[in-house]
Chains A and B, each alone.
Chain A
Amino acid sequence: MAAPAAVSPRPPWEVRLAAGIGLRHPHVAQLIEEPPADLAWVEVHTENYLVDGGPRLRQLELIAERYALSFHGVGLSLGSADEPDRAHLARIRRLCDRFGPGLVSEHIAWSVEGGHYLNDLFPIPYTEEALATVARNIRIAQDALGRRIMVENPSSYLRFLDSTMAECRFVAELAARADCDLLLDVNNIHVSAHNHGFAVDDYLAAIPSERVGELHLAGHARVLADGAVLLIDDHASAVIPAVWALYERTLARVGPRPTLLEWDNDIPPLEVLLAERSQAQAWLDRVAVHARAA
């Protein structure tokens, strides 16, 4: 069967100063039929589109005709002791070749063990062994995909005793060793800082700004566990004021970057998500004006 004509990819610079939204199924029809004028790009979970055919791919074609795309993977398991699955990488490569996403990212986490995919993002110990392993895995992924990728700082609920370095140092060192870029999730910094008691400004200070290619914003939940408050990164509510404030500080430090609003559970009407996007866009515009004036 002949491959369908490739959708002409929009160059990544088009999303440089724009805030986008995560594409979720309840919003797809509306985004295809009535594209909001100020929405430049959307992010999809790559694995949702690794299908042979059918309505999902058809919808992505229609979305790609209207918006620039970002592919955000959840299945490469770059934090696994094992190397990433070459067949899975090849499928992602084919999807990238077909749709030409401006941004491609994955996570500093693992989800595959012993041949099973557990559909969550698990934490890794911040050790030399893990650093070498994840850097190797990112290099394998970048070679297979033929491009640099961004990897996202994790949110987590536990720490390993044998960690020998702070998470922010691990993330910065990883990016240097793998020669990859970073997707800085501002909500994840807030969540992990609360759960593990580190200072968000120390974290930001350790991140190499020049490697940050995208920012994420999302909501989280506060859960009472054994009398203590644990923050859960559930992407099921609006961004809270403290995370907006941290976003402002992040922009001031790393400069304007394409920013994504993620809302994956208890998904609200599209208008609610677009209003959050506009708020992020307003911050981006202010920083961009400031950067030009400087």
Chain B
Amino acid sequence: MPALRELQARFARAVLGGPPSGLLDSLVADHLPPARRLAVYRANVHIALLRVLEGGFPATRRAAGEDRFRAAAIAFLRASPPVEPRLHLWGGAFPAWLAAHPETAGQPWLGDLAGLEWAREEVYYAADAPALVPTALAALPQERYPALRLRLHPTARLLASRWPIDALWRGEVASPPPTPAHVLVSRPGMEVQTLVLTAGEHALLAALSADATLADAAEAALDAEPGLDLTAILARHLAAGTFTSFG
């Protein structure tokens, strides 16, 4: 009989979908064959992990269709099972897996859509942090603005895609042509926010998150989108709680 460690290694391989070699001989055979008994555990593991992915990626599931999502999810959970019991941390590699999975080749936007849902998951469970109140900059003299460094809220995630991931996420389109989309996901309070950005707005926030001054970030934003209304954009994000502090 194998020692406990070896027995568990064989068991884990078998329940993930591998061959039950060397394990069936270790199981009691009675009125029900050991392979049938083992199959209960394999089904339990697959369903329990599938439910985790279904819970984290509902829009991706809807967009992919039930059969395609299930096939991709089961292939993923066999290849990349969770590495620890905090299951909310598992699934970060699923978007890239989906993008590369042959079953989803006809829906090239699925990876980026899943990326948006994963950002929402991460943000939901992230540490709480205060948002900069909208009036925080009001008392600041105008001449200080160019050198200002606005820090994005620690939950903020910036996404850019060739595909309209925001419309896909809302279920408004099913089979869209390539249309670039920019999205900010953040949680300044208890609600996860998903804000659609323009290209220039995305460039501004990306530069600020890389610690650029407001002047340098504004330049990057105007490069990406000439004519951008910087004042309006700044007001929008102060109101939305996109920033946490400034210096």
| Shortest Cβ distance from B33 into A: residue | A226
| Shortest Cβ distance from B30 into A: residue | A197
Interface centre among B25, B37, B124 (most CB of A within 10 A): B37
A53-B125, A81-B5, A226-B33 known; A75 and B85 CB under 8 Å? yes
Q: Evaluate contact between B85 and A56: CB separation under 8 angstroms.
A: no
The one of B15, B28, B33 that contacts A159, using a Cβ cutoff of 8 Å: B28
Is the contact region of chain B dominated by helix, strand, or loop, or is it mixed? helix
| B88 touches A (CB below 8 Å) | yes
Q: Evaluate contact between A47 and B44: CB separation under 8 angstroms.
A: no
Interface size of B by Cβ–Cβ distance < 8 Å?
A: 46
Not counting A119-B45, A125-B4, A125-B7, a sample of 8 additional A-B residue pairs whose C-beta atoms are within 8 angstroms of each other reads A52-B126, A53-B125, A74-B85, A113-B9, A119-B52, A122-B11, A162-B1, A228-B31
Q: Evaluate contact between B1 and A117: CB separation under 8 angstroms.
A: no
Per-residue A-contact encoding for B24-48, CB less than 8 Å = 1, 0 else: 0111101111101110110011001
A122-B11, A161-B26 known; A116 and B40 CB under 8 Å? no
| Chain B contact residues, CB within 8 Å of chain A | 1, 3-5, 7-9, 11-12, 15-16, 25-28, 30-34, 36-38, 40-41, 44-45, 48-49, 52, 81-88, 124-129, 187, 190
The one of B26, B30, B84, B127 that contacts A160, using a Cβ cutoff of 8 Å: B26
| A157 touches B (CB below 8 Å) | yes
Per-residue B-contact encoding for A148-174, CB less than 8 Å = 1, 0 else: 000000000111111000000000000
Q: Evaluate contact between B28 and A118: CB separation under 8 angstroms.
A: no
Interface centre among B4, B15, B30, B82 (most CB of A within 10 A): B4
| A110 touches B (CB below 8 Å) | yes
Give CA–CA (A56, B5) in the complex, Å: 36
| Chain A contact residues, CB within 8 Å of chain B | 1, 47, 50-56, 58, 74-77, 80-82, 85, 88, 110-120, 122, 124-125, 127, 129-130, 133, 157-162, 197, 225-226, 228, 230, 232
Q: Evaluate contact between B41 and A157: CB separation under 8 angstroms.
A: yes
| Shortest Cβ distance from B88 into A: residue | A51
Top-3 shortest CB links A-B: A75-B85, A81-B5, A53-B128
A53-B125, A54-B128 known; A118 and B12 CB under 8 Å? yes
Give CA–CA (A46, B49) in the complex, Å: 18
The one of B81, B87, B187 that contacts A116, using a Cβ cutoff of 8 Å: B81
Q: Evaluate contact between A54 and B190: CB separation under 8 angstroms.
A: yes
Q: Chain A residues with Cβ under 8 A from B85's Cβ?
A: 47, 50, 74-77, 88, 111-112, 117, 119
Q: Evaluate contact between A159 and B82: CB separation under 8 angstroms.
A: no
Q: Evaluate contact between B44 and A113: CB separation under 8 angstroms.
A: no
Q: Chain A residues with Cβ under 8 A from B187's Cβ?
A: 54
Q: Chain B residues with Cβ under 8 A from A55's Cβ?
A: 124, 190
Cross-chain pairs A/B with CB under 8 angstroms, 6 sampled: A47-B85, A53-B129, A116-B12, A125-B7, A225-B36, A230-B37
Interface centre among A51, A53, A114, A159 (most CB of B within 10 A): A53
Q: Chain A residues with Cβ under 8 A from B32's Cβ?
A: 225-226, 228, 230
Give CA–CA (A82, B34) in the complex, Å: 26
